[in-house]
Amino acid sequence: MTRRNEKYDAIVRAARAVFGRVGYLTASIDLIASEAGVSTRTIYNHFDNKEHLFAEVLLASSRQVAEVHEAMIERRLTNVTDLPAALVALAEEWNRPQPEFDDHFAMSRRMGAERAHFPEKIYQAWREAGPWRVQRALAERFEELRDQGLLDVPDAGFAAHLFSVMIAEVRDYPKVVHAFLYGYLPRSCFECPGR
């Protein structure tokens, strides 16, 4: 790795930590430079301004988190033989602590509180790179399960959104999955094995 890349990586790590800790409004290039152990000039050699730095850091970490969740969906909902167990396993893995992404999730939590203070295009790009991308992946898998006769989901996108909200709000995953499947199992499957 070149020295330039080392400095760039240090800036990105520091920016993610600072934005997550103090938010977009309070964060400054000086504070990020101090955290990264570089000069402000070094930061400006890589990024035009704070908004550019924030957008790049947020979108890059959003894509990383999305890739992890896409892999979970692929792992848990492929070749399903017991749908309730597969959905419970997905919910458990989905909500398992991921310390490597603590700074990202801190940034995401601040998005709601500070949304009015940075451009709408950044907010929309974040949604597209992270949450919406994951929702689409889950919806596509629900459509495949529907095609296999395991789910009855007229609107797979809504079902994916509902499932992710339910497992975020209620941590008793077997009960959540039971409630979810009550609405989305084909009527013929209420006597299916695994129920």
Around 71, how many Cα atoms within 13 Å sit in the side-chain half-sphere? Answer: 7
Is 39:33 a contact under the CB 8 Å cutoff? yes
pLDDT tens, residue by residue, 63-97: 999 999 999 999 999 999 999 999 999 999 999 98
CA–CA distance, 188 with 145 (Å, rounded to integer): 15
Say which range, 15-19, 105-109, 171-175, has the weakest mean pLDDT: 105-109
Look at residue 41 and tell me whether its pLDDT is greater than 70.
yes
Who has greater pLDDT, 113 or 90? 90
Residue length of the chain: 195
Span 157-186, average pLDDT: 95
Look at residue 10 and tell me whether its pLDDT is greater than 70.
yes
**Percent of the chain having pLDDT more than 70?**
94
Look at residue 194 and tell me whether its pLDDT is greater than 60.
no
What is the pLDDT confidence band of residue 106, given thresholds at 50, 70 and 90?
confident
Look at residue 39 and tell me whether its pLDDT is greater than 70.
yes
For 16, counting Cβ atoms within 10 Å of its Cβ (0-12 exposed, 13-18 middle, 19+ buried), the class is: buried
What is the pLDDT confidence band of residue 184, given thresholds at 50, 70 and 90?
very high
**Residue 152 tokens, joined:** 């009855």
Who has greater pLDDT, 74 or 104? 74
Dihedrals phi, psi of 119, to nearest 5 degrees: -60, 140
Span 139-151, average pLDDT: 96
Is 27:121 a contact under the CB 8 Å cutoff? no
Span 55-69, average pLDDT: 92
Across all residues in the chain, what is the average pLDDT? 90
Look at residue 1 and tell me whether its pLDDT is greater than 50.
no
CA–CA distance, 153 with 185 (Å, rounded to integer): 8
Span 18-34, average pLDDT: 93
